[in-house]
Amino acid sequence: MDPYAIGVDLGGTNLRIAAYAGGKGFLEVIELPTRLAEGRDRVVRDLCGAVKKLEKRYSGLYEMTGVGVGAPGPLELPDGIVRNPPNLPGWDGFRLREAVETGLGRTIELENDANMAALAEQKLGAGYSHGVESLCVLTLGTGVGNGLVIRGAIESGMSGMGGEAGHIVVNSAVDAPTCGCGGAGCLEQYASATAVMRLAKERMGELAPSSARALAGLARTGDPAAAGVFQAVGRSLAIALAGLINTLNLPLYLVGGGVSEAWDLFAPMMFSELRRLSYIYRLTEPADLYSSRFERHKTYIQRAELGSTAGLLGACVSAMGERKGVLVEMTVVAE
């Protein structure tokens, strides 16, 4: 029988559970609301129930390799204890791994959801397209997510709490905007969708449109205030990326999430500031920034290839077997 895995993307709003077979893509995706109001045991019961349902349906047809779960951070690993999660209020200290493993009667692969998304990009997305085993993903959504994959495996540090590059300081001024993390001047305050709207209001007052997409449209018509917001996004990304490139020297950095749709508006500033701020980038800048054929020892910064299912895909892939090496017979899934 061909192998398949079950992946779970546990979000603050939605709970998605999928059966996935290499070479076939998703066999089935179950989407449920995350019933936080009914308590964490209820959410875990919903999760385990859906996994068992998929298992019952597919384990006669395929051979199950495992179950992967991506959850919002911070998540202390390997124990799988949830720590002050902004998106799972009331879950602080919850022993998520224990609860799910008890519910399922089997061990699981558990990781921060942003790291699961990065794993998917490496195994099935841009990393796969380019044959790259190490990459860093910045996801510009409501917040700024981050995942790191090195030599084909998620690198989440001593206790699973790495991958928070969204909280790199990009504005060191004393009056820098405070961040939900308790710090100030974080990348998240300049490059998330929330930040883009705040910057628009600061610069345009009541003339600021009500969505990041509308703001991008306005910037494309030549509105200087709207364009300035995306230049601030580009500059903040450059400061954070310069630090990452200088420290890690990875071949590929991906920018995803809703704000990345304004790539044309922020990328020119991002690249020009990056050239100024990182001499490692200057030494390794590729001749063709967007090439699909990678030159050896060059630093590429491109848009993420997988969309909002990256986390779910990564959870599936994490349970497909050997995580330290490159997975074989894995094919890109069309969304």
Q: Which residues inside 53-82 make contact with a second copy, applying CB under 8 A?
A: 74, 76
Is 173 an interacting residue with respect to a second copy (CB under 8 A)?
yes
DSSP structure string for 33-44: E--GGG-HHHHH
Among 36, 197, 204, 277, binds a second copy (CB under 8 A): 277
Question: Which of 21, 67, 218, 244 touches a second copy by CB under 8 A?
Answer: 244
Does residue 163 touch a second copy according to CB under 8 A?
A: yes
Note whether 8 and 17 are within 8 A (CB): yes
Is the Cβ–Cβ distance between 151 and 135 less than 8 Å? no
Q: How many CB atoms lie within 10 A of CB 184?
A: 16
CB of 48 to a second copy, least distance (A): 27
The residue among 269, 258, 17 whose CA lies nearest residue 142 is 258
Which structure tokens are listed for 333? 């899934």
Q: Which stretch binds a second copy (CB under 8 A): 60-68, 162-170, 201-209, 223-231?
A: 162-170
How many amino acids of this chain bind a second copy (CB under 8 A)? 52
155 binds a second copy (CB under 8 A): yes
Given candidates 247, 324, 329, 334, which one binds a second copy under the rule CB under 8 A? 247
**Which of 197, 150, 191 is CA-nearest to residue 167?**
191
Per CB under 8 A, which region of 117-125, 146-154, 195-203, 210-218 contacts a second copy?
146-154
Taking alpha carbons only, the member of 104, 105, 100, 56 closest to residue 79 is 100
**Least gap, CB of 229 to a second copy (angstroms):** 17
304, burial (CB in 10 Å: exposed 0-12, middle 13-18, buried 19+): buried
Among 122, 139, 171, 318, binds a second copy (CB under 8 A): 171
Least distance (Å) between residue 310 CB and a second copy? 19
Measured distance CA(81)–CA(100) in Å, rounded: 12
Show the site string, 292-331: x = touches a second copy by CB under 8 A, - = not: -----x----------------------------------
Q: Which of 57, 89, 282, 322 binds a second copy (CB under 8 A)?
A: 282
What whole-number distance in Å separates Cα of residue 59 and Cα of residue 1? 9
Residues in the chain: 335
When asked if residue 169 is in the footprint of a second copy (CB under 8 A), the reply is yes
Distance, in Å, from the CA atom of 206 to the CA atom of 296, rounded to the nearest integer, reads: 49
Q: By CB under 8 A, is residue 13 in contact with a second copy?
A: no
Structure tokens at 106: 């089997």
Exposure string over 28-62, b if 16+ CB within 10 A, otherwise e: ebbeeebebeeebeebbebbbebbeebbeebeeeb
**Interaction between residue 191 and a second copy (CB under 8 A):** no
Candidates 82, 96, 165, 319; binder of a second copy (CB under 8 A) is 165
Task: Answer yes or no: are the C-beta atoms of 250 and 135 closer than 8 Å.
Answer: yes
Q: What are phi and psi of 329, to 5 degrees?
A: 55, 40
Stretch that binds a second copy, among 9-17, 48-56, 236-244, 307-315 (CB under 8 A): 236-244
Taking CB under 8 A as the rule, does residue 106 contact a second copy? no
Applying CB under 8 A, the span of 5-13, 165-173, 200-208, 222-230 interacting with a second copy comes to 165-173
- Whether 145 and 167 have beta carbons less than 8 Å apart is answered as no
- For a second copy, the binding residue among 42, 214, 264, 279 (CB under 8 A) is 279
Structure tokens at 149: 């994959």
Task: Please identify which residue in 96, 108, 170, 216 interacts with a second copy, judged by CB under 8 A.
Answer: 170
- Per CB under 8 A, residues contacting a second copy are 74, 76, 83-84, 134, 146, 148, 150, 155-173, 181-185, 239-240, 242-244, 246-251, 276-280, 282-284, 297
